[in-house]
Protein backbone atom coordinates (compact mmCIF):
# COMPACT_ATOMS: atom_id res chain seq x y z
CA UNK A 1 0.00 0.00 0.00
CA UNK A 2 0.99 3.64 -0.47
CA UNK A 3 0.91 6.19 2.33
CA UNK A 4 0.52 9.78 1.14
CA UNK A 5 1.94 12.10 3.78
CA UNK A 6 0.66 15.60 4.44
CA UNK A 7 2.48 18.63 3.05
CA UNK A 8 5.27 19.92 5.26
CA UNK A 9 6.29 16.69 6.97
CA UNK A 10 9.73 16.71 8.57
CA UNK A 11 12.53 14.17 8.16
CA UNK A 12 11.94 13.10 11.76
CA UNK A 13 8.29 12.33 11.03
CA UNK A 14 9.20 10.43 7.85
CA UNK A 15 11.70 8.37 9.81
CA UNK A 16 9.05 7.56 12.41
CA UNK A 17 6.86 6.13 9.64
CA UNK A 18 9.80 4.19 8.17
CA UNK A 19 10.68 2.72 11.55
CA UNK A 20 7.08 1.63 12.16
CA UNK A 21 6.98 -0.05 8.73
CA UNK A 22 10.18 -1.99 9.55
CA UNK A 23 8.92 -2.81 13.05
CA UNK A 24 5.88 -4.48 11.49
CA UNK A 25 8.13 -6.59 9.25
CA UNK A 26 7.59 -4.73 5.97
CA UNK A 27 9.93 -2.79 3.68
CA UNK A 28 9.53 0.98 3.10
CA UNK A 29 10.33 2.93 -0.08
CA UNK A 30 10.22 6.74 -0.02
CA UNK A 31 9.34 9.02 -2.94
CA UNK A 32 9.57 12.77 -2.35
CA UNK A 33 7.71 15.07 -4.72
CA UNK A 34 7.45 18.83 -4.78
CA UNK A 35 4.40 18.85 -2.53
CA UNK A 36 3.86 15.34 -1.23
CA UNK A 37 5.94 12.51 0.17
CA UNK A 38 4.85 8.96 -0.58
CA UNK A 39 5.77 5.87 1.40
CA UNK A 40 5.41 2.48 -0.28
CA UNK A 41 4.85 -0.26 2.30
CA UNK A 42 6.05 -3.50 0.67
CA UNK A 43 4.69 -6.78 1.93
CA UNK A 44 2.03 -9.25 0.82
CA UNK A 45 -0.06 -8.63 3.95
CA UNK A 46 0.80 -4.98 4.47
CA UNK A 47 -2.79 -3.83 3.99
CA UNK A 48 -3.85 -5.51 7.27
CA UNK A 49 -1.82 -2.84 9.09
CA UNK A 50 -3.82 -0.03 7.53
CA UNK A 51 -5.44 0.98 10.84
CA UNK A 52 -2.02 1.44 12.44
CA UNK A 53 -0.90 3.93 9.79
CA UNK A 54 -4.24 5.75 9.78
CA UNK A 55 -3.51 6.68 13.40
CA UNK A 56 -0.49 8.74 12.31
CA UNK A 57 -1.43 12.43 12.11
CA UNK A 58 0.90 13.02 9.16
CA UNK A 59 -0.76 10.36 6.96
CA UNK A 60 -3.18 12.08 4.59
CA UNK A 61 -4.44 9.02 2.69
CA UNK A 62 -3.77 5.32 2.12
CA UNK A 63 -3.97 3.65 -1.29
CA UNK A 64 -3.97 -0.16 -1.55
CA UNK A 65 -1.95 -1.73 -4.38
CA UNK A 66 -3.66 -4.95 -5.34
CA UNK A 67 -1.11 -5.91 -8.00
CA UNK A 68 1.75 -8.19 -6.90
CA UNK A 69 4.20 -5.83 -8.60
CA UNK A 70 4.60 -2.71 -6.44
CA UNK A 71 7.69 -0.74 -7.44
CA UNK A 72 6.96 -0.89 -11.18
CA UNK A 73 3.26 -0.14 -10.75
CA UNK A 74 1.83 3.09 -12.12
CA UNK A 75 0.09 3.51 -8.77
CA UNK A 76 3.48 4.03 -7.14
CA UNK A 77 4.87 6.38 -9.78
CA UNK A 78 3.25 8.05 -12.79
CA UNK A 79 6.19 8.07 -15.20
CA UNK A 80 9.87 7.18 -15.33
CA UNK A 81 12.41 8.74 -17.67
CA UNK A 82 15.63 6.75 -17.94
CA UNK A 83 18.60 9.05 -18.55
CA UNK A 84 21.45 7.23 -20.30
CA UNK A 85 24.23 9.78 -20.40
CA UNK A 86 21.95 12.47 -21.79
CA UNK A 87 19.78 10.15 -23.91
CA UNK A 88 16.37 10.25 -22.24
CA UNK A 89 14.12 7.23 -22.75
CA UNK A 90 10.49 7.89 -21.88
CA UNK A 91 10.55 11.66 -22.37
CA UNK A 92 8.09 11.66 -25.29
CA UNK A 93 10.44 11.29 -28.25
CA UNK A 94 11.35 7.99 -29.89
CA UNK A 95 14.84 6.78 -29.04
CA UNK A 96 16.42 4.72 -31.81
CA UNK A 97 18.74 1.83 -30.93
CA UNK A 98 20.37 0.26 -33.98
CA UNK A 99 23.22 -1.93 -35.09
CA UNK A 100 24.14 -5.47 -36.10
CA UNK A 101 22.63 -8.56 -34.56
CA UNK A 102 26.15 -9.83 -33.89
CA UNK A 103 29.37 -7.84 -33.63
CA UNK A 104 31.66 -9.12 -36.39
CA UNK A 105 34.74 -6.88 -36.56
CA UNK A 106 35.92 -3.47 -35.42
CA UNK A 107 35.78 -2.05 -38.96
CA UNK A 108 32.25 -3.31 -39.55
CA UNK A 109 31.06 -2.04 -36.16
CA UNK A 110 32.61 1.39 -36.79
CA UNK A 111 30.93 1.62 -40.20
CA UNK A 112 27.52 0.67 -38.83
CA UNK A 113 27.84 3.03 -35.84
CA UNK A 114 28.59 6.00 -38.11
CA UNK A 115 25.75 5.03 -40.46
CA UNK A 116 23.04 4.62 -37.83
CA UNK A 117 24.07 7.80 -36.02
CA UNK A 118 23.78 9.78 -39.24
CA UNK A 119 20.26 8.36 -39.66
CA UNK A 120 19.17 9.39 -36.16
CA UNK A 121 20.15 6.62 -33.76
CA UNK A 122 21.55 7.57 -30.36
CA UNK A 123 22.25 4.05 -29.06
CA UNK A 124 24.37 1.36 -30.72
CA UNK A 125 23.08 -2.18 -30.35
CA UNK A 126 25.04 -5.35 -31.04
CA UNK A 127 25.53 -8.80 -29.63
CA UNK A 128 28.88 -9.90 -28.24
CA UNK A 129 27.36 -13.02 -26.68
CA UNK A 130 24.67 -14.62 -28.84
CA UNK A 131 22.02 -17.00 -27.47
CA UNK A 132 21.35 -19.22 -30.50
CA UNK A 133 18.84 -22.00 -30.99
CA UNK A 134 21.50 -24.16 -32.64
CA UNK A 135 24.75 -24.93 -30.77
CA UNK A 136 26.52 -24.84 -34.14
CA UNK A 137 25.53 -21.24 -34.97
CA UNK A 138 27.83 -18.25 -34.47
CA UNK A 139 27.97 -17.55 -30.73
CA UNK A 140 29.56 -14.07 -30.77
CA UNK A 141 33.02 -12.62 -30.18
CA UNK A 142 32.73 -12.28 -26.42
CA UNK A 143 34.81 -9.59 -24.71
CA UNK A 144 36.50 -8.66 -28.00
CA UNK A 145 33.06 -7.77 -29.36
CA UNK A 146 32.35 -5.65 -26.29
CA UNK A 147 35.57 -3.73 -26.91
CA UNK A 148 34.55 -3.10 -30.53
CA UNK A 149 31.17 -1.76 -29.44
CA UNK A 150 32.76 0.54 -26.87
CA UNK A 151 35.32 1.90 -29.33
CA UNK A 152 32.71 2.55 -32.02
CA UNK A 153 30.37 4.22 -29.53
CA UNK A 154 33.08 6.42 -28.04
CA UNK A 155 34.17 7.55 -31.50
CA UNK A 156 30.64 8.41 -32.65
CA UNK A 157 29.15 9.63 -29.36
CA UNK A 158 26.60 6.82 -29.24
CA UNK A 159 25.65 4.82 -26.16
CA UNK A 160 25.96 1.02 -26.07
CA UNK A 161 23.33 -1.61 -25.38
CA UNK A 162 24.31 -5.29 -25.41
CA UNK A 163 23.09 -8.53 -23.87
CA UNK A 164 24.27 -10.47 -20.84
CA UNK A 165 23.07 -14.07 -20.57
CA UNK A 166 24.35 -15.04 -17.14
CA UNK A 167 25.79 -13.50 -13.97
CA UNK A 168 29.42 -13.95 -15.03
CA UNK A 169 28.74 -12.22 -18.36
CA UNK A 170 26.88 -9.46 -16.51
CA UNK A 171 30.03 -8.62 -14.55
CA UNK A 172 31.88 -8.21 -17.84
CA UNK A 173 29.14 -6.43 -19.82
CA UNK A 174 28.71 -3.64 -17.25
CA UNK A 175 32.35 -2.66 -17.85
CA UNK A 176 31.59 -1.78 -21.48
CA UNK A 177 27.84 -1.17 -21.90
CA UNK A 178 25.66 1.82 -21.02
CA UNK A 179 22.52 -0.37 -20.98
CA UNK A 180 22.42 -4.08 -20.18
CA UNK A 181 19.95 -6.11 -22.23
CA UNK A 182 18.27 -9.22 -20.87
CA UNK A 183 16.92 -11.32 -23.74
CA UNK A 184 13.59 -13.08 -24.01
CA UNK A 185 15.07 -16.42 -22.96
CA UNK A 186 16.26 -14.89 -19.68
CA UNK A 187 13.10 -13.02 -18.73
CA UNK A 188 12.50 -15.51 -15.92
CA UNK A 189 16.12 -16.21 -15.03
CA UNK A 190 15.44 -15.02 -11.50
CA UNK A 191 19.01 -15.17 -10.22
CA UNK A 192 20.16 -13.03 -13.16
CA UNK A 193 17.25 -10.63 -12.58
CA UNK A 194 18.24 -10.21 -8.94
CA UNK A 195 21.88 -9.67 -9.91
CA UNK A 196 20.76 -6.89 -12.28
CA UNK A 197 19.06 -5.26 -9.31
CA UNK A 198 22.49 -4.50 -7.85
CA UNK A 199 23.91 -3.09 -11.10
CA UNK A 200 24.37 0.66 -11.52
CA UNK A 201 23.28 0.57 -15.17
CA UNK A 202 19.85 0.70 -16.82
CA UNK A 203 18.41 -2.71 -17.72
CA UNK A 204 16.42 -3.37 -20.90
CA UNK A 205 14.21 -6.36 -20.18
CA UNK A 206 12.73 -8.22 -23.14
CA UNK A 207 9.42 -10.02 -22.78
CA UNK A 208 9.61 -13.79 -23.10
CA UNK A 209 7.88 -15.10 -26.20
CA UNK A 210 5.44 -17.22 -24.14
CA UNK A 211 4.97 -14.93 -21.14
CA UNK A 212 1.99 -12.90 -19.98
CA UNK A 213 2.05 -9.18 -19.21
CA UNK A 214 1.78 -9.94 -15.49
CA UNK A 215 4.79 -12.27 -15.64
CA UNK A 216 6.68 -9.61 -17.59
CA UNK A 217 6.04 -6.99 -14.91
CA UNK A 218 6.88 -9.42 -12.11
CA UNK A 219 10.28 -10.00 -13.74
CA UNK A 220 10.82 -6.24 -13.76
CA UNK A 221 9.79 -6.20 -10.09
CA UNK A 222 12.54 -8.71 -9.31
CA UNK A 223 15.11 -6.20 -10.59
CA UNK A 224 13.50 -3.21 -8.88
CA UNK A 225 13.17 -5.06 -5.56
CA UNK A 226 16.97 -5.22 -5.30
CA UNK A 227 17.41 -1.49 -5.80
CA UNK A 228 17.77 -0.84 -9.54
CA UNK A 229 14.64 0.91 -10.81
CA UNK A 230 16.20 2.07 -14.10
CA UNK A 231 14.33 -0.52 -16.12
CA UNK A 232 13.22 -0.36 -19.76
CA UNK A 233 10.62 -2.86 -20.94
CA UNK A 234 10.90 -4.30 -24.46
CA UNK A 235 8.10 -5.95 -26.42
CA UNK A 236 9.66 -8.24 -29.05
CA UNK A 237 6.84 -10.49 -30.17
CA UNK A 238 5.17 -13.58 -28.75
CA UNK A 239 4.68 -17.08 -30.09
CA UNK A 240 1.26 -17.71 -31.66
CA UNK A 241 -0.14 -20.05 -34.30
CA UNK A 242 0.82 -17.62 -37.08
CA UNK A 243 3.46 -19.06 -39.43
CA UNK A 244 3.83 -16.04 -41.72
CA UNK A 245 6.17 -14.18 -39.37
CA UNK A 246 8.81 -15.27 -36.86
CA UNK A 247 6.73 -14.06 -33.89
CA UNK A 248 3.54 -12.03 -33.49
CA UNK A 249 4.25 -8.46 -32.38
CA UNK A 250 1.84 -7.74 -29.53
CA UNK A 251 0.99 -4.12 -30.29
CA UNK A 252 -1.82 -4.28 -27.71
CA UNK A 253 0.84 -4.74 -25.02
CA UNK A 254 1.91 -1.10 -25.39
CA UNK A 255 -1.31 0.63 -24.24
CA UNK A 256 -1.80 -2.07 -21.60
CA UNK A 257 1.70 -1.56 -20.19
CA UNK A 258 1.33 2.23 -20.36
CA UNK A 259 -1.70 1.87 -18.12
CA UNK A 260 -0.11 -0.57 -15.67
CA UNK A 261 3.47 0.68 -15.26
CA UNK A 262 5.53 3.86 -15.15
CA UNK A 263 8.46 2.22 -16.95
CA UNK A 264 9.34 3.26 -20.53
CA UNK A 265 8.58 0.74 -23.29
CA UNK A 266 10.75 -0.04 -26.30
CA UNK A 267 9.69 -2.22 -29.24
CA UNK A 268 11.91 -4.60 -31.22
CA UNK A 269 10.26 -5.00 -34.66
CA UNK A 270 13.14 -7.05 -36.11
CA UNK A 271 12.60 -10.30 -34.19
CA UNK A 272 8.84 -10.64 -34.71
CA UNK A 273 9.22 -9.75 -38.41
CA UNK A 274 11.84 -12.33 -39.28
CA UNK A 275 11.92 -10.62 -42.68
CA UNK A 276 13.30 -7.13 -43.37
CA UNK A 277 10.28 -6.30 -45.56
CA UNK A 278 8.05 -6.35 -42.48
CA UNK A 279 10.29 -4.40 -40.11
CA UNK A 280 9.20 -0.92 -41.23
CA UNK A 281 5.41 -1.47 -40.92
CA UNK A 282 5.85 -3.04 -37.48
CA UNK A 283 8.14 -0.20 -36.37
CA UNK A 284 5.66 2.43 -37.53
CA UNK A 285 2.78 0.64 -35.82
CA UNK A 286 4.82 0.69 -32.60
CA UNK A 287 5.51 4.41 -33.04
CA UNK A 288 1.78 5.06 -33.45
CA UNK A 289 1.01 2.94 -30.36
CA UNK A 290 3.28 5.06 -28.17
CA UNK A 291 6.62 3.23 -28.07
CA UNK A 292 9.34 5.17 -26.26
CA UNK A 293 12.00 3.60 -28.45
CA UNK A 294 12.75 1.18 -31.27
CA UNK A 295 15.60 -1.33 -31.31
CA UNK A 296 16.39 -2.42 -34.87
CA UNK A 297 18.98 -4.66 -36.51
CA UNK A 298 20.95 -2.83 -39.23
CA UNK A 299 23.82 -4.06 -41.44
CA UNK A 300 25.38 -2.72 -44.67
CA UNK A 301 25.24 -6.21 -46.20
CA UNK A 302 22.64 -8.35 -44.40
CA UNK A 303 23.26 -11.36 -46.66
CA UNK A 304 26.74 -11.63 -45.15
CA UNK A 305 25.69 -10.92 -41.56
CA UNK A 306 26.84 -13.51 -39.01
CA UNK A 307 23.30 -13.91 -37.65
CA UNK A 308 19.68 -12.91 -38.36
CA UNK A 309 20.48 -11.50 -41.80
CA UNK A 310 16.96 -12.10 -43.10
CA UNK A 311 15.40 -9.68 -40.60
CA UNK A 312 18.22 -7.11 -40.71
CA UNK A 313 17.47 -3.91 -42.65
CA UNK A 314 19.79 -1.97 -44.92
CA UNK A 315 21.00 1.47 -43.76
CA UNK A 316 18.70 3.25 -46.24
CA UNK A 317 15.73 1.31 -44.90
CA UNK A 318 16.64 2.28 -41.35
CA UNK A 319 16.90 5.93 -42.35
CA UNK A 320 13.36 5.79 -43.75
CA UNK A 321 12.05 4.10 -40.61
CA UNK A 322 13.52 6.89 -38.46
CA UNK A 323 12.04 9.60 -40.69
CA UNK A 324 8.56 8.09 -40.79
CA UNK A 325 8.45 7.10 -37.12
CA UNK A 326 9.42 10.62 -36.07
CA UNK A 327 6.76 12.05 -38.38
CA UNK A 328 4.12 9.81 -36.79
CA UNK A 329 5.17 10.87 -33.31
CA UNK A 330 5.03 14.57 -34.24
CA UNK A 331 1.55 14.05 -35.67
CA UNK A 332 0.37 12.53 -32.41
CA UNK A 333 1.75 15.27 -30.13
Q: Dihedrals φ, ψ of 123, to 5°?
A: -130, 130
Q: Are 159 and 99 in contact (CB under 8 A)?
A: no
Residue 133 — very low, low, confident or very high, per pLDDT cuts 50/70/90? low
What is the predicted pLDDT for the residue at 135? 60
pLDDT of amino acid 126: 96
Residue 81 pLDDT greater than 80, yes or no: yes
| In CATH, 82-332 is 3.20.20.70 | yes
pLDDT of 34 reads 74
Q: Which residues contact 138 (CB under 8 A, 6 or more apart)?
A: 102, 130, 132, 306, 307
Confidence grade of residue 300 (pLDDT, cut at 50, 70, 90): very high
Q: Where are the domains of the chain?
A: 2-63, 82-332
Helix (H) or strand (E) holding 270: helix 270-273
Q: For residue 210, what are the contacts with CB-CB under 8 A and spacing of at least 6? A: 238, 239
Q: Which pLDDT value is given to residue 137?
A: 59
Tell me the average pLDDT of the chain.
94
- With b meaning 16 or more CB within 10 Å and e meaning fewer, what string describes 190-217? eebbebbbebebbbbbbbbbebebeebb
At residue 159, does pLDDT exceed 90?
A: yes
Q: What is the pLDDT of residues 216-259, one digit of tens each?
A: 999 999 999 999 999 999 999 999 999 999 999 999 999 999 99
Q: Which of 199 and 68 is assigned the larger pLDDT?
A: 199
Is the CATH number 3.30.70.1140 carried by domain 2-63? yes
Note whether 2-63 and 82-332 share their fold: no
Those residues whose C-beta lies under 8 Å from the C-beta of residue 137, and which sit 6 or more positions away, are: 130, 307
Q: Give 261's strand partners.
A: 73
**pTM (predicted TM-score):** 0.90
Print the SS3 string covering 282-330.
Answer: HHHHHHHCCCCEEEEEECCCHHHCCCCHHHCECHHHHHHHHHHHHHHHH
Amino acid sequence: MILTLKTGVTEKEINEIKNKVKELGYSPEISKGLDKTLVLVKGERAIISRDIFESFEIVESITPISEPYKLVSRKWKKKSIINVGGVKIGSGNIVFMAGPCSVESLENTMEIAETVKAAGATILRGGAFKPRTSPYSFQGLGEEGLKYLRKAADKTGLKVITEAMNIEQLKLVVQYADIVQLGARNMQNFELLKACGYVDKPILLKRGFSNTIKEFLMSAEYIASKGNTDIILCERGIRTFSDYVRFTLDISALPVLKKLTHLPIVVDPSHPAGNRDYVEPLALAAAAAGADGLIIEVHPNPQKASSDGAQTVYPDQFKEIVRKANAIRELLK
